[in-house]
Amino acid sequence: MAYSLPNLSPTLLQSKDKPSAINVPLSSVSIPTASAQTKLEPPPPRRGAVQVNRTSGAQDKQQEPKNEFYVNLGLAVRTLREDLPLIFTKDLNYDIYRDDITFRDPLNTFTGIENYKLIFWALRFHGRILFRDISLDILRVWQPSETMILIRWNLRGVPRVPWEAKGQFQGTSRYKLDRNGKIYEHKVDNLAFNFPQTLRPAASVLDLVAACPASPNPTFSLWGPVDDGPSSSWVEFYRAVKDTLDRESLMISQDCLATCS
């Protein structure tokens, strides 16, 4: 016997104890918010960006010594301009020199900052004794290369003896700098004498030098032994400075021998 079932909708077939998912309110559903995503670890930096930073740091480290050199070079030029005209009245600023600096002239060589200080002390001391007036003028400052400073100067003075007129001579100081911009060598050369006429013997080396026109460029370098030159206050001045350095070196040597023995 066949029965005809009524056309029931799917909603009527659901149990009354189990509510339909369609009837669940949306407010009760938990939806992830943006704050939960912020806890994720950031992505690692790209390899290309890290390489750029390393390259930049290496360039900065290479640039630091170069910057230090130019800073010390500018300080050296400025200090020499200020110190040299006053070498007979005040001491130098020795911050621009290395402790193992070497001083050279046509006859002698001295090494060490203490000897270098002694040279300029002797210049001031004996300059005041032998001359009523003595001064040094800077004629030119230039750089033939990045690691060298050249200064052309003129030294003039009035001796304390009545029979000798004032005299002067020019020279060039060459300062060599290391990679840090510190001066490690000072060489005096290219000397041109201009002693009083009455003191110059005929056909001497000094006559040949005096005949050359004064030039700020290092075009000649003539210097004979001190004993071959005329007896003047300038020669006595040089001898006095040299004797001071020789006596000091002798005393240092004797102290070393006494200490070692």
DSSP state of 43: P
Question: Residue 231: inside a domain, yes or no?
Answer: yes
Say what the pLDDT of residue 190 is.
86
Q: What is the C-alpha to C-alpha distance for residues 105 and 127, in angstroms, rounded to an integer? A: 18
Domain extent, residue 104, equals: 57-260
Question: Residue 52: inside a domain, yes or no?
Answer: no
List of residues 6+ apart from 220 with CB closer than 8 A: 190, 192, 209, 212
Question: Residue 8: inside a domain, yes or no?
Answer: no
Question: Residue 6: inside a domain, yes or no?
Answer: no
Say what the pLDDT of residue 235 is.
84
List of residues 6+ apart from 212 with CB closer than 8 A: 192, 219, 220
Question: Residue 118: inside a domain, yes or no?
Answer: yes
Say what the pLDDT of residue 57 is.
64
Closest by CA position to 123, among listed 188, 210, 79: 188
CATH of the domain at 69: 3.10.450.50
**Which of the pair, 233 or 117, is modelled with greater confidence?**
117
Question: Residue 1: inside a domain, yes or no?
Answer: no
Question: Residue 31: inside a domain, yes or no?
Answer: no
pTM equals 0.63
pLDDT digits (tens, 9 = 90+) for 77-136: 999 999 999 999 999 999 999 999 999 998 889 999 999 999 999 999 999 999 999 999
- Count of structural domains, the chain: 1
pLDDT digits (tens, 9 = 90+) for 146-168: 999 999 999 999 998 877 778 88
Question: Residue 61: inside a domain, yes or no?
Answer: yes
